[in-house]
Chain A
Amino acid sequence: MNKILLIIQREYLSRVKNRTFILTTLLTPLLFALMIGGATFFSMQGHTKHKIAVVDANGFFKGNLKNTDELVFEFPEGVDTGNFVAKGYTDILLIPKFDGIKKTDYTIRSEKSLGFALQEKVKDKVNAAIEDQRLQENGITRAQLDSIHEQSKFAELRTMHQGKDGARESSEGLAAAIGYGCGILIYITMLIYGMMVMRGIMEEKTNRIAEVVISSVKPFQLMMGKIIGIGAVGITQFILWIILIFGLATAAQSFISHDTMEQVRMLQQNGGVMPGGGGAMQASEAAQKVYNVQHTLGTANWPLIIGCFIFYFVGGYLFYAALFAAIGSVVEDVQGSQSLTLPVTMPIIFSFFIMTSAIQNPDSSLAVWASIIPFSSPIVMMARIAFGVPGTVPYWQLGASMLCLVSGFLFTTWLAGKIYRTGILLYGKKTTWKEMMKWAFRKS
């Protein structure tokens, strides 16, 4: 009857009307934007300059080691490992004589740790200098060398996906980003909303309202009403976020000048190059960037990704919310719930780790199986779908995964319904997993 609708309505409205819901919905996208901005800002601020004294036994590095924002190479006289700090250097680079045959080690000694990224940079600079030196020794002039370096910048890797109906442009970077984003989003929401279901049921139990309501409706209706109501809150939150993000993106676009947008439109019409050829009309750098972003985003199959995201969010949520509901019905306080929630949260956390590996290698057997088993499929499959259907994920895998998830949540809901019915009216006794299983599988 419509009693379950009444319960859904109450669960939904009491949460959506809540001030915390409105605030978190509005602030989360802003917080994300701030976090990304902040991270970029600090990564640009955080560098300390390394002044490196180079002691070169070969004599050809002077002038060939290029300075960067963070690394300054100098070639002072009379500096050694004993006094470089006193002379105002942070590091000393010791390069012995190379003969080009025997493997030779060079050393950098630092006052403060260089860090992994800088260490790699020093290595690149030194190796590039050696390469240049060898090329020059073999008769290539400095001018030729510079021209070669300049030309190599024109080459760029374009990745294509070979489908049955021909090649299509693909972007592994974008796919990884989408996979990661969707995976994290499902991971967070499954935990947050699952916990919300558990807390809601716990509250009804400790408030003893459960008994009052159960004298009017069936326990299963009360449980399902709560699960569906809270799920609807989650979907509302997603929709609001999507609207907000689109709004912010449109607002951001309005800051781009009209001329640039005009150029972007021309780039779109001509497949990335400006019409008219030659240098007559060069697209501005800004227009090229906007075009590139739009073009890359366009390589993803958005309707499929959004459709699957909604499916896996709903499916994964229902699967885990039922388990959280069962736990909520047998505990009376948060402390008591901890030992019982662990077996439920563990698979979610594991799926997250499997997802990070699935993004590196979406075809591995771990990724394939984890994307079919309903315990991990919502998170792992979302990470793989971004890499292409039916390319990376064949239709049979997607079908099997969806089927398993649907039967999975039907099973957990059935299981939870039986545990809930007994647990919700039981007070004062700590329930174990063994007892819960006994309630679940006994005949009614």
Chain B
Amino acid sequence: MQNTILELHNLKKYYATQKAVDDISFSIEKGSIFGLLGPNGAGKTTLLRMITGIFYPDSGNIQLDGKAFDPVNDILKIGYMPEERGLYKKMKIGEQALYLAQLKGLSKSQAMEKIRFWFKRLEMESWWNKKVEDLSKGMSQKLQFVITVLHEPKLIILDEPFSGLDPVNANLIKDEIYGLAQRGSTVIFSTHRMEQVEEICDHIVLVNMGKKILDGTVSNVKQQFKENKFSVVLHELPASVNGNSFELVDQKANRLVVKIKEGFRSNDVLKHFLQQDVTIEGFNEILPSLNDIFIRQVEGTKSTARAFQNVQ
């Protein structure tokens, strides 16, 4: 039994003036929620467009469900919600959902059934005869999400799904995403909102300048980038806060942030304070947030300047 739903092997897509995707490989496990991260213009959209069959890669190949990706038939197994939402403004919402579902290969009766199910579930039944231009941004976002998942795709690709949603609706969609993953769909989630990634995703890949620069589970990545920093909260300050096993990075009254030196363990820090007989109220490791990792990885690469570099 295949455990991966999607495998990318050495994908490349060059435009006239830039290498949009430059030799990227990774694989995505079935039923997981996968985060595709990267700054603006990193090549995420191009990568997603190749996965959705809109663009053909210049080289490399894509395997969907263990077989070579077939852009004509396999796109029916994919639900894609692009970053820039798109709906026909003048078309009635019910008709619109029906039309787009039929384009995904559902029969009219199947489509009606699914639309009824989802509209009821997300309390959108009264929208049927409204037009998109009558909806607020958050409402059309919800509609777009429903349209994306209507045909029960195996692979759901969501590009910034929460932008423009209020916290209530964002939670609603988040729960739906979890639900879809539990029912066996795989979700690719593209964003630069790191706190959402940390909360939702199992596995992440970070791309920048068309290249993959990070790949792993969220906790692995955090471990990989940890700086051995610990936060120590003391009841009262000892005579000396400096020890030979660590350096003091930050101090706010009795809250210390320490960095353990090479060759020492966290126990050595504890020992230092225990020996001075101060009461330790708190001691825990500070793992970098994905946000910090992201910024550290991307900073200084002048990703915006990339647009003007020539491909040789």
A binding-site residues for B, Cβ under 8 Å = 3, 6-7, 10, 14, 204, 207-218, 425, 444
Q: Which residues of A contact B85 (CB under 8 A)?
A: 208
Q: Which residues of B contact A217 (CB under 8 A)?
A: 103
A211-B91 CB under 8 A given contacts A216-B104, A217-B103, A425-B54: no
* Contact call A207/B102, Cβ cutoff below 8 A: no
* Contact call A212/B82, Cβ cutoff below 8 A: yes
Could you tell me the distance in whole angstroms from the C-beta of A3 to the nearest C-beta in chain B?
6
Q: Which residues of B contact A218 (CB under 8 A)?
A: 72
Q: Which residues of A contact B241 (CB under 8 A)?
A: none
Whether B288 sits at the interface, judged by CB under 8 Å, is: no
* Contact call B86/A211, Cβ cutoff below 8 A: yes
What 20 additional pairs, Cβ within 8 angstroms, besides A209-B88, A215-B80, A444-B56? Answer: A7-B103, A10-B99, A14-B88, A14-B90, A208-B82, A208-B84, A209-B86, A210-B86, A212-B82, A212-B86, A212-B87, A212-B147, A215-B52, A215-B53, A215-B54, A215-B75, A215-B78, A216-B76, A216-B103, A425-B49
Interface residues of chain A: helix, strand, loop or mixed (majority):
helix
Give the residues from 68 to 119 in chain B that come closer than 8 angstroms, CB to CB, to chain A: 72, 75-76, 78, 80-82, 84-91, 99-100, 102-105
Nearest B residue to A424 via CB reads B54
CA distance A444 to B56 in the complex (A): 9
Q: Which residues of B contact A209 (CB under 8 A)?
A: 86-88
Q: Which residues of B contact A10 (CB under 8 A)?
A: 99
Could you tell me the distance in whole angstroms from the C-beta of A357 to the nearest C-beta in chain B?
43
Could you tell me the distance in whole angstroms from the C-beta of B283 to the nearest C-beta in chain A?
50
Interchain residue pairs with CB less than 8 A apart (12): A3-B103, A6-B99, A7-B103, A207-B87, A208-B85, A210-B86, A212-B80, A212-B100, A214-B54, A215-B52, A216-B103, A444-B56
Q: Which residues of A contact B80 (CB under 8 A)?
A: 212, 215
Give the residues from 12 to 51 in chain B that come closer than 8 angstroms, CB to CB, to chain A: 49
* Contact call B102/A6, Cβ cutoff below 8 A: yes
Nearest A residue to B72 via CB reads A218
* Contact call A213/B103, Cβ cutoff below 8 A: yes
CA distance A355 to B13 in the complex (A): 49
Q: Which residues of A contact B53 (CB under 8 A)?
A: 215
Interface residues of chain B: helix, strand, loop or mixed (majority):
loop
CA distance A217 to B101 in the complex (A): 12
Q: Which residues of A contact B81 (CB under 8 A)?
A: 212
Q: Which residues of A contact B84 (CB under 8 A)?
A: 208, 211
Could you tell me the distance in whole angstroms from the C-beta of B187 to the nearest C-beta in chain A?
16
Q: Which residues of A contact B72 (CB under 8 A)?
A: 218
Could you tell me the distance in whole angstroms from the C-beta of A413 to the nearest C-beta in chain B?
20
Among B78, B88, B103, B144, the most chain A Cβ lie within 10 Å of the Cβ of B103
* Contact call A211/B82, Cβ cutoff below 8 A: yes
A14-B87 CB under 8 A given contacts A6-B102, A208-B82, A425-B49: no
Q: Which residues of A contact B90 (CB under 8 A)?
A: 14
CA distance A228 to B253 in the complex (A): 75
CA distance A217 to B86 in the complex (A): 15
Among A6, A210, A211, A214, the most chain B Cβ lie within 10 Å of the Cβ of A211
Could you tell me the distance in whole angstroms from the C-beta of B56 to the nearest C-beta in chain A?
8
Could you tell me the distance in whole angstroms from the C-beta of A51 to the nearest C-beta in chain B?
62
CA distance A214 to B76 in the complex (A): 11
CA distance A211 to B88 in the complex (A): 12
Q: Which residues of A contact B49 (CB under 8 A)?
A: 425
Q: Which residues of B contact A7 (CB under 8 A)?
A: 103
Nearest A residue to B99 via CB reads A10
Q: Which residues of A contact B105 (CB under 8 A)?
A: 216
A216-B100 CB under 8 A given contacts A14-B90, A207-B89: yes
* Contact call B100/A207, Cβ cutoff below 8 A: no
CA distance A218 to B70 in the complex (A): 13
CA distance A98 to B84 in the complex (A): 87
* Contact call A14/B82, Cβ cutoff below 8 A: no
Nearest A residue to B148 via CB reads A212
A14-B100 CB under 8 A given contacts A208-B84, A212-B82, A425-B49: no
CA distance A319 to B100 in the complex (A): 29
* Contact call A216/B75, Cβ cutoff below 8 A: yes
Q: Which residues of A contact B103 (CB under 8 A)?
A: 3, 6-7, 213, 216-217
